[in-house]
Amino acid sequence: MLAKLTTKNQLTLPKRITQEIGAVEYFDVKVENGQIILTPVKIQRADGVRAKLAELDITEEDIADAVSWARQ
């Protein structure tokens, strides 16, 4: 089965493939031995928030302090 890569580096997956894997919006992408491997991933919004908090080095204590401050 073929899939076409557009000039904007977008790949359209065949309908038969998407029907088989179900409703997936995100894929983990990696290359192994010259092959592109797409693995369906269910992203939970909380995961994105946790990742951003970790990136900013914000702790649970920082959040508790901010909530306490806001409630004053």
Task: Write down the domain spans for the chain.
Answer: 1-41, 42-72
| CATH of the domain spanning 1-41 | 2.10.260
Please give the DSSP secondary-structure letter assigned to residue 70. H
pLDDT tens track for 39-56: 998 877 787 888 889 999
Centroid of chain to Cα 25: 8
> Cβ(56)–Cβ(41) under 8 Å?
no
Place of tokens 């970790």: 54
Give the residues across from 36 on adjacent strands. 31
User: How confident is the model over 6-43, as pLDDT tens digits?
Assistant: 999 999 889 999 899 988 889 999 999 999 999 998 87
Distance CA 21, CA 39 (A): 10
pLDDT of residue 45: 77
